[in-house]
Amino acid sequence: MARIECRQMVKRYGRVTAVHALDLVIEDNEFVVLLGPSGCGKTTTLNVIAGLEDLSAGDLLFDDEVVNFVSPDKRNVAMVFQSYALYPQKTVSENIAFGLRLRGVDRAEIRRRVLEVAEQLEISQLLERRPAELSGGQRQRVALGRAIVRQPSVFLMDEPLSNLDAALRVSMRALIKKLHLMMRTTFVYVTHDQAEAMTLADRIVVMDQGRVQQTGTPDEIYNRPQNLFVASFLGSPQMNLVAGHVVREAGQLRFAQGDFRLPLGPVTAAEGQPITLGVRPEDCLVDAAGLQASVSLVSPLGSETHATVNLAGVELVARLAKDVIVHPGATLGLKLDPARLHWFDTQSGQALQRTY
Ligand code: ATP
């Protein structure tokens, strides 16, 4: 168990700053996911926490103790990577036991812990096989087992499911979540996959270009994105973003883009200000009495349908229930629920301040 604190943590590689003055507290037993596109600095952050990379500036604390210069083996962290990095000549059992052997743990205790971990990971029947005789998913379970068996204070995972197919990723996600509940240990997990982040995290840290863009629960990140980057990074299909500006009509402030008009939500904005409207596809609600949209493209997915529609010159993707039958060229009534709209200042990219 450990509480991790990054204080103004910087990591530079020559002239490249991979992580800029990161301030982050990860509470004991919390499951935090570092999420962002390739090159945003998430692996670097994880490696600094592991002690595999030195800090260039700032401090890293474990349970209020500065650990900047503490070697990785003294930090009691375990790491699982995308590549399983198992010893090919050793059996599953030997792979899991290896770290304990190095630490001189008693043979009977090693046996007990290996069997316990193998049972938790449902690989008891594979203990005598070698890695070449395992599937990718089984190998990743062994890699997890090798990390768990050490009973680390901090569990660090770097894209551990990226090499697995989609179905296996979903079942491994559930397993990792179960392990966290069982182990009651701090987990820090790196991914670029928003579904993994949303399903696993207590809190998500969204990063871009070495800087934290937003930290919050999955609900906060998805439903209250603080800027355009976070708004567009999470959600599939992506949030519809429409750049326009604020006009005053009949004494009221409205959002305008060409002929498209929408009353402004409860946000602070000035007449003439360039702003961007954000609408999640699932918040385009079918309502015969709503705004009349012409349908240009229909993508049925079985469980739901995505329709590209045109509303007074503005193109939006709407996510429709599977029983809504639409065709290209048809007209569809849509309601955009004002309570579910997002508003951003176009220049700064920041969400507009709400007035409630
Ligand atoms: P990915 O998902 O592709 O692994 P990431 O978000 O984990 O990306 P990092 O690997 O942390 O990103 O890299 C952050 C930045 O630091 C990138 O610009 C990368 O090119 C740079 N960088 C990482 N490691 C080194 C290194 N050893 N030497 C120089 N630059 C590096």
DSSP string, 26-52: E-TT-EEEEE-STTSSHHHHHHHHHTS
Residue 5 in this model has a pLDDT that exceeds 70? yes
More confidently predicted of 349 and 84? 349
Residue 1 in this model has a pLDDT that exceeds 70? no
Considering Cα of 78, then 84, then 90, then 92, what sign does the dihedral take? positive
**Section 208-216 average pLDDT:** 97
The residue whose CB lies within 8 Å of the most ligand 1 atoms, and thus the one to mutate among 6, 11, 13, 161, is 13
The residue whose CB lies within 8 Å of the most ligand 1 atoms, and thus the one to mutate among 10, 44, 83, is 44
CB 144 within 8 A of CB 80: yes
Please enumerate, as own/partner, the contacts of 97-103 that have beta carbons within 8 Å and a separation of 24 or more: 97/149, 98/146, 99/146, 99/149, 99/150, 100/149, 100/150
CA 42–ligand 1 middle distance (angstroms)? 8
Write out the two tokens for 221.
Answer: 């990140």
| Residue 56: φ, ψ to 5° | -90, -30
Write out the two tokens for 23.
Answer: 């301030």
Is 17 near ligand 1, meaning CB less than 6 Å away? no
List, as one string, the DSSP characters of 108-123: HHHHHHHHHHHHHTT-
| Residue 191: φ, ψ to 5° | -155, 160
**Sorting pLDDT into bands at 50, 70 and 90, what band is 261?**
very high
Q: Whose CA is nearest to atom 16 of ligand 1?
A: 18
pTM of the model: 0.93
- The DSSP call for residue 189 is E
> Which of 43, 61, 11, 41 shows the shortest CA–CA distance to 212?
41
Give the pLDDT confidence score for residue 81 in this predicted structure. Answer: 86
CA 316–ligand 1 middle distance (angstroms)? 35
Is 205 near ligand 1, meaning CB less than 6 Å away? no
Residue 9 in this model has a pLDDT that exceeds 80? yes
Question: What is the distance between the terminal CA atoms of the chain, rounded to a whole angstrom?
Answer: 39
CA 35–ligand 1 middle distance (angstroms)? 14
To which H or E segment does residue 232 belong? Answer: helix 228-233
Q: Whose CA is nearest to atom 3 of ligand 1?
A: 38
Is 200 near ligand 1, meaning CB less than 6 Å away? no
Give the pLDDT confidence score for residue 32 in this predicted structure. Answer: 98
Q: Whose CA is nearest to atom 22 of ligand 1?
A: 18
Write out the two tokens for 274.
Answer: 């360039």
Please tell me the distance from the alpha carbon of residue 326 to that of residue 40, in angstroms, as a whole number. 40
Give the pLDDT confidence score for residue 219 in this predicted structure. Answer: 98
Residue 210 in this model has a pLDDT that exceeds 90? yes
